[in-house]
Amino acid sequence: MIQLYFLSIVFNGLAGFLFIFGDMGKSDSAENSGKLSFVSDGFLLVIGILAGIIGLLKLLSPMKGMPILGDLLPAVAGVAAGFMLIFGFYREHSSGVDADGAINHFGEVILHYKKPIGIVLLASAALHFLFPEAFLL
C-alpha cells in the first residue's frame, strides 16, 4: 500500500530527527538519555506507537517485489524507533516503581544507541524515498 510507504518515510524520518537533534544542549547522562528537550512526553509516545505499528504493518505488506525482504530495513527501523520511544516514555514515568534499578540499567544500554539508530532511521527514510523499488529498501 502506498499509504504505508509514505507513513513509513514520515515516521522514520521524524523519529530519526528526534533521536539525533532532540536533546541539543543537554548532557548525555542517564537522566536525559530518554527525554527529548523540545517535545512533550505525549507527543513522543504517539510517535513511538505509530512508528512501531507502521513498522509492523510494513513487514506484513511490502510495497512491491519480494515479500518481507522488500521493505526490511524501513520496517525494522520503524519497529526499533517505536520500541525506543515507548520505552523512553515508560522509563520516564516509572522511576518510582523501579526499586532494584533494572529498568534504568536496561534503559542505559538501549538508549545509549539513540544517535546511531537515529542516523539509520534518517538514512532509511531518505533511501526509501529516493529508491522506492530497491531491494531491501
pLDDT in tens, 9-51: 999 999 999 998 876 444 445 445 555 455 788 888 999 999 9
71 residue type, one letter: D
Three cell numbers written together for 123: 538514512
Domain of residue 67 covers: 2-19+39-130
Residue 55 located in a structural domain: yes
Residue 136 located in a structural domain: no
Reported as a pLDDT band with limits 50, 70 and 90, residue 92 is: confident
- Residue 25 has a pLDDT of 44
Radius of gyration of the chain (CA): 15
Higher-confidence residue of 60 and 68: namely 60
Average pLDDT over residues 73-91: 87
Residue 30 located in a structural domain: no
Residue 29 located in a structural domain: no
Q: Where are the alpha helices (DSSP H) in the chain?
A: 2-21, 41-60, 72-93, 102-111, 114-130
Q: How many domains does the chain have?
A: 1
Residue 125 located in a structural domain: yes
